[in-house]
Every structure is written in structure tokens, then in C-alpha cells.
Amino acid sequence: MQAFALALAAGLLLAGCGDSPADRPLPPLATDDVILAFGDSLTHGTGARSSESYPAVLQRLIDRRVVNAGVPGETTAEGRERLPELLDRHRPSLVILCLGGNDFLRRQPVSATRDNLDAMIREISQRDVPLLLLAVPELKLGFQPAPLYSSLAEDSGVALMPDILADILGDRSLKADPIHPNARGYERLATGIADHLRAAGAIP
């Protein structure tokens, strides 16, 4: 993944020139590359059929294998323990990380959530694997992205999608229940990720 290391270095240099984590480039994905979609119920697809989860829809949209590694109810502490084995098993060329919602629901300390996410980002980066971080909204007044995701993306130099989950969960027509998308919501999420990958240079 020398290309990713170069892209990350370039991204860090650009960060000093005012670029946004939402605009950071990602290295091109070959057609046989594997994407690891890692997260909780939002990745698993709770609220829709398995074929309607965002990893399943994304796989069809971009014609690359997308592994659904979502575990409903998982916290960032549990994800931190689970991640290394999946990285070894699947050897992905891109990880999409979407965790934190269960920490917020269980009122875990924000500092602990941030530390766990930071450890996962470092675990992925140490393997020279590109990462796309999805900001999870907090359940406060409406759905707003938790600020810790932007802070993590700025500090680590990874790519970020800051608003898409908040936008989906803020739209009742796209939800199966108060905290999960329905099939249309997951389709919107997958389409947004595909568009982001295209704009970032990961797919044509």
C-alpha cells in the first residue's frame, strides 16, 4: 500500500493548506480489492433485509466486494477488540468505519469513545490501509454529527463523511425506527458513499 502512504502524506500536507477531511483523496481501488465495512447495527443493516444493508447495496453499486462486518449493539470498546482479526482475515484495501452510536446511547464518556476510535484508526493506518470514517450523530436536539469525528479526522489525516448519517436519521421517511434507517435510508447511505469514493478518486 505504498500508494496509500503517499496519498496520506500528501493529504497531511494539504491539511496544512486548509483542505477538509471530507475532501481528502483516497487511492484507486482495483476491481478485485476488498472493502471492509466495520461497525454496529448501522452497518449490519438493522431495520431492513440483509440484501438492503448499505454494504450489500454498495457492493452492487461499485462492483467491488464489500464485507459486512457490522455487529448490532457493539460499542467502540468491543469494536476495538474485534477489528485486528478481521483486518488479518480479509486484508482489505479500504475500511469504512462507522461506530460510536451505542456509546452515545449508553452515555459512555466521550473521551473513552474517542480513545477507542483513535486506536482503531491507528490500527488500520499502521497496516497502510486507507480509511473512510463516517460521523455518527448524537441523539440530542435533532441529529447532529458528534464533534469528536471531525476532531479525529483532522488529527489523524483520514477521510471523513461528516453529515450523511445525520441527514438520513433526521428524515423520518428514511427510518425504520428512531435510530435505524429503512431500506431507502440504507440505499441513500450506500449511494452517498459510492459518490464520495468516486469524488475522492477511489473508483472511476
The reply to whether 109 falls in a domain is: yes
Query: What is the number of structural domains in the chain?
Result: 1
Q: What is the pLDDT of residues 115-162, one digit of tens each?
A: 999 999 999 999 999 999 999 998 776 789 999 999 999 999 999 999
Average pLDDT over residues 106-118: 97
User: Strand pairing of 94-98 and 180-181?
Assistant: unpaired
Indicate which CATH number applies to the domain containing 68: 3.40.50.1110
The reply to whether 83 falls in a domain is: yes
Residue given cell 428512531 in the structure block = 178
Mean pLDDT across the chain:
92
Cα separation, 117 vs 124, whole angstroms: 11
Predicted model pTM: 0.91
Q: What is the pLDDT of residues 20-77, one digit of tens each?
A: 999 999 999 999 999 999 999 999 999 999 999 999 999 999 999 999 999 999 999 9
pLDDT of 15 above 70:
no
The reply to whether 8 falls in a domain is: no
The reply to whether 25 falls in a domain is: no
